[in-house]
Chains A and B, each alone.
Chain A
Amino acid sequence: MVVKRFLLLSLVLALAAVGAAQWDPLTKIKADFYTWNMVLETMAVDYIAFPKGDDIQAVGAFLKGFYWDEPILYDPWGNLYRYSSDGKTYTLTSPGPDGNLSTADDLTSRGDFIAPMPLQEEIPSNPPGLSYSIPVPRSTGSSLMLSKSGTDDILFAWSGAGPTYDVTGATDPRFLNSYLLQNDIAGSPYTYPGALKNPKSVEFFDVTEPTETNHAQDANGLYPATPPSLSTATGNWFIGGSVSVTGTTFSEVYKDNVVCFPGGYCIHPDDTSTTTQLDFKVPPGAITGSIVNSIGILESNKLSATISLEDPALPALTIRTIGFAKTAGHYYTCDLDAGVQKAYRHSYDPGTGKWVRYPVTFFIAPPHFYYGSTKMDRFNHLFFVDAYPSTSLSESTRVVTDPPSDAMASCKALGVPGSERTVKGAGAAPDPNPQSVAGRDVVYFAFDDGLNGKFIYKVEVNAGGCGNILDTDYGNRGGAWYWNAIVGMSVDPKTGDLYVAERITSTTSVVKVIRNDGSETLQTVATGFTNVFGVDVWRETGGDFGFILATDFAAGQLKSIPIDNTAAGGSVVTGGSSMRTVATGLTTYDTSTYQASDLIRLLVAHNDGSTIKLRKPPYFSTDPYESMPVNIWISSPVPSDRPTYQGVLRDSKNPGTTYSTVKMKAWFSDGVARSICATAGDPLSTAANTFVPSPTPAACNKWWKDPVDGTEYAFCDNSSDFTAGGVGSSTTSGELLDCRSNCGTQANPCVFEFRISPSYSEENFRYYFMVPQSRTVLSSFMSNSWKRALIEQDQMCQRGGILYEDTAIGQTQIKIAKNLDGTRADNLQLGDTIYIFDSQKPYSPTSDCACVRELDAVPAQYVLVTLGQVGSCSTTLEPLDRIYDASPWDFSAGKSAGVCVDGSGFFTPDSSTLNRRDKTGPFDDAFVQFYPSTAGAGVIPYWPTFRLSPLSDQASAMRFHQLWFANSRPTGCFLDPPDNTVWCDTCCNLANNYFHLMGMMQRENGNWGDSIAGSDISWTYIASIIANCPACSAADLQRAFQHVCCHEKGHNYGVNCGTEMHDDNNVWCGMCGGAISQKCVMSVLQGLADRIDGINRFCCFNLLETPAFCGDATECGEGVRKTTDPQ
Chain B
Amino acid sequence: MNTRIMLALVILASAFCFAGPVEIQLTCRDVIVGELKFGASAHFQMILRNSSSEPVHLATSTASTWLYASPWWSVHIEGPTDSRCLKEGGPVVLGQTAVGEFPHIEIKPKTESVLTYGCPGWGNPGAYRVWIEYNGAEVPAQDIYKGKIVSNTCAFNISYPEGVDAEIFNLWRKQNPDLPICEFPLPMDPHILKPEVILEKYPTSTYAGWALVDKGNNYLRPTNSSNIHIENYMKESLNDKYNQSLRTYGKSRIEELQTYLSANPDFPMADWMKFEIAFLSAYRGEYEKAGKVAAQLVQDAPQAKGGIKAKELLTYLKEKKLITEK
- Which residues of A does B touch, CB under 8 Å? 804-805, 815, 820-822, 856, 858-862, 864, 888-890, 892, 948-952, 972, 974, 976-983, 985, 1005-1007, 1058-1062, 1084-1085
Contact = CB atoms under 8 A, between A and B. Distances in A.
Contact of B41 (A805, A860, A982, A1059): A982
Interface residues of B, number: 55
Given A950-B115, A985-B194, 10 more contacts: A861-B217, A950-B223, A951-B116, A952-B223, A976-B118, A979-B120, A981-B37, A981-B41, A1005-B97, A1061-B64
A826 to B, nearest CB: 16
Contacts of B195: 892, 985
A207 to B, nearest CB: 49
Given A892-B195, A950-B223, A980 B245 contact: no
Nearest to B96: A949
A1059 B101 contact: no
A979 B41 contact: yes
Given A822-B229, A981-B118, A976 B92 contact: yes
Contacts of A805: 245
Interface string B96-112: 11010100000000000
Nearest to B242: A859
A860 B227 CA distance: 10
- Chain B CB within 10 Å — which of A861, A979, A1084 has the most? A979
A861 B246 CA distance: 9
Contacts of A856: 241
A977 to B, nearest CB: 7
A949 B105 CA distance: 14
A820 B224 contact: yes
B95 A860 contact: no
A980 B218 contact: no
B84 interface: no
A861 B219 contact: yes
Given A950-B116, A983-B38, A1060 B194 contact: no
Nearest to A977: B89
A859 B229 CA distance: 12
Interface in B29-62: 36-42, 61-62
B242 A1060 contact: no
Contact of A983 (B61, B69, B193): B193
Nearest to A820: B224
Given A949-B96, A950-B116, A980 B37 contact: yes
Interface string B54-89: 000000011111001100000000000000001111
B280 to A, nearest CB: 13
B232 interface: yes
Contacts of A889: 218
A985 B92 CA distance: 21
B215 interface: yes
A976 B99 contact: no
Given A985-B193, A1061-B63, A950 B92 contact: no
Contacts of A1005: 97, 99
Interface string B217-250: 1110101100101001100100101100110000
Given A861-B219, A950-B95, A1005-B97, A972 B227 contact: no
B94 interface: yes
5 closest A-B pairs by beta carbon, nearest first, are A979-B118, A981-B41, A1059-B63, A978-B89, A821-B227
Interface string B182-198: 10000000010111000
- Chain B CB within 10 Å — which of A821, A980, A981, A1061 has the most? A981
Contacts of A972: 191, 193-194
B119 interface: yes
A892 B215 contact: yes
A951 to B, nearest CB: 6
- Chain A CB within 10 Å — which of B38, B62, B65, B89 has the most? B62
Nearest to A985: B194
7 contacts: A860-B236, A861-B246, A972-B193, A972-B194, A979-B92, A1058-B63, A1060-B63
B63 to A, nearest CB: 4
Contacts of A892: 195, 214-215
A1058 B41 contact: no
B94 A1058 contact: no
Given A985-B194, A1059-B69, A1062-B62, A950 B94 contact: yes
Contacts of B99: 1005-1006
Contacts of B97: 948-949, 1005, 1007
A617 B39 CA distance: 71
Given A861-B219, A1005-B97, A980 B120 contact: yes
A820 B63 contact: no
B133 to A, nearest CB: 19
A293 to B, nearest CB: 40
Contact of A858 (B87, B193, B236): B236
Nearest to A821: B227
Interface in B301-316: none
Contact of A820 (B41, B95, B115, B227): B227
